[in-house]
Amino acid sequence: MQIDEQIGKLYNTIRDRATSSHKEKRSVRMALNAEKLYQFMNAAYDHFSENLDKPFDFVKEALHLNLMPHDFKGHKLHLVLAVRNGMSSMGYPNTERQLLEKVKPLLASCMTLVITRNNLTGTIKDLLNSTFRKPVRMAFEELCDKWLPCGFESNGYTCCNIRFAHVKGHQASNGKIFQKGPYQPSITDGQFEGWFNGFGAELKKMMEELPRAGSEKDNAWGKHLQHLERLYDDNSKLSHSENVSHGTCFCCMNNVPEHVLPCGHILCTECVSALGDHKERDIMLVRYCPFHRHTHNWDRDPVQIRFKPEGAGIRTLSGGRGLVKLIMLEELQKLLNNITVQNFFNLIVGTSTGGIVSLGLGVKNLAVSECIRDFKDLFGKAFTPRRLKKL
């Protein structure tokens, strides 16, 4: 019948237009999921309840809803300092411009993880200007304040003062103040803007090169591992176990690390989840270190990393009365089938006698019985009665 034919044509037209619209939204990173659609509906309702004549700015609201990792600026600064230390250890020329050029591709790769893991919406140009520019600029300012020396040179002397220490003027490495004057950054504002534009072009290129098939987040992770491997191959000092951070995951440069690998590197929960395979609900099997996968490979005996269940708080062991606490922990351990008591706490802290117990249990990883024995020996030497002397 003619009506069936017309319905079919209408259906095909709607389907083609919807598919085309979805592809276009995805290309400019404005495709929504159910959670974000609900947020946009609320924002649009609030907007039109106050002003019916002004159109709802969909792009502005999308950028407003983007969530950034905690301490985004600090993590990026740690990346720059780690590369700087690695270049110094390897004996590479360590000028500030070379440093920023060295970190540019890895920083852009880290940003692809931020965008895909957090499902940030908006074009790359919008994200650069509204989301990334301010924290990157703040990281650069702090780098100048605390680490980059002044670039002023005169009469064979070079000023070695950072901005925070540039009070008396230009000072040489031997302590001599050879001229008065303010701090002169070795990288000017214009040079930083040029670098930031280059960084933006690098980020845009990486996002465009991500495969369209499969998960965008998984594709970004695979590409990031390749960039990470190249960086650590060029700066092998960075991959050594002494170059670890307890403040920044050196794999993604976006989160606080929590899980220690046998080689000494520490990864965040998101990187372990992306790197490992699920064994059980809260247990991941990690088969290699992403920093040096060819030399630190655990295929035969994968490392088991246990995640804290979602919703669980931080379990802290603290408090004084050292020997009393140790005896209580010993009895508690017996009730727990002699599983080492350290496994039940995320944080062990204390002061005075509590600090001694914390060092034994947390740092030396001693058994409770060993702590009791050592504490009794130490108690007799450190806490002895003393006669009151005349003033």
Average pLDDT over residues 115-138: 86
Given a cut of 60, is residue 211 above it in pLDDT? yes
pLDDT surpasses 50 at 26: yes
Q: How many CB atoms lie within 10 A of CB 272?
A: 21
How is residue 320 written in tokens?
A: 């004084």
Mean pLDDT score of the chain: 81
Whether 350 shows a pLDDT value over 80: the answer reads: yes
What lies within 8 Å, CB to CB, of 154 at 6+ separation is 170, 178, 179
pLDDT higher at 284 or 60: 284
pTM over 0.75: no
Please tell me the predicted confidence (pLDDT) of residue 214.
80
Instruction: Give the pLDDT score at 379.
Output: 72
Predicted pLDDT at 197: 92
For residue 390, pLDDT beyond 60: no
* pLDDT above 70 for 121: yes
User: Which stretch of 76-90, 152-166, 198-212 has the lowest confidence by average pLDDT?
Assistant: 76-90
The string of pLDDT tens digits covering residues 297-311 is: 888 889 888 887 777
Q: CA 203, 207, 208, 211: dihedral to nearest 10 degrees?
A: 150
Least confident among 169-173, 224-228, 295-299, 326-330 = 295-299
- pLDDT (average), residues 30-41: 69
Half-sphere exposure of 272 (CA within 13 A, CB side): 27
How many CB atoms sit inside 10 A of residue 182's CB? 10
Q: Which whole number is the average pLDDT over 340-359? A: 81
Average pLDDT on 139-157 reads 85
Mean pLDDT of all residues in 197-220: 88
Give the list of residues 6+ apart from residue 55 with CB closer than 8 angstroms, or none: none
Question: Which one has a higher pLDDT value, 267 or 384?
Answer: 267
Residue 227 sits at the vertex; the CA angle it makes with 193 and 284, to the nearest 5 degrees, is 125
Mean pLDDT of all residues in 168-182: 88
Task: Assess whether pLDDT exceeds 90 at residue 343.
Answer: no
Determine which of 48-57, 199-208, 318-327 has the lowest per-residue pLDDT on average: 318-327
State residue 383's pLDDT score. Answer: 65
Residues 6+ apart with CB under 8 A from 212: none
Question: What angle do the packed helices 189-209 and 96-117 form, to 10 degrees?
Answer: 40
pLDDT band at residue 91 under the 50/70/90 scheme: low
Kindly tell me if the per-residue pLDDT of 355 is higher than 80.
yes
pLDDT, residue 201, reads: 93
pLDDT of res. 29: 64
Quote the pLDDT of residue 243: 60
Closest CA to 256 of 206, 314, 298: 314
pLDDT of residue 272 exceeding 90, the answer is yes
Q: Kindly give, in sequence order, each residue whose CB lies less than 8 Å from that of residue 152, ignoring residues fewer than 6 positions away.
A: 158, 159, 170, 179, 181, 184
**At 237, is the pLDDT very low, low, confident or very high (cuts 50, 70, 90)?**
low
Please give the residue that has the higher pLDDT: either 389 or 122: 122
User: Per-residue pLDDT averaged across 118-135, rounded?
Assistant: 85
Mean pLDDT of 108-118: 89
Examine the pLDDT at 241 and tell me if it is beyond 50.
no
Q: Residue 288: pLDDT above 60?
A: yes
Give the pLDDT mean for 81-107: 75
pLDDT at 271: 92
More confident residue, 110 or 308: 110
Asked whether residue 338 carries a pLDDT value surpassing 90, the answer given is no
pLDDT value at position 333? 83
DSSP sequence for 110-136 = HHHHHHHHTT--S-HHHHIIIIIHHHH
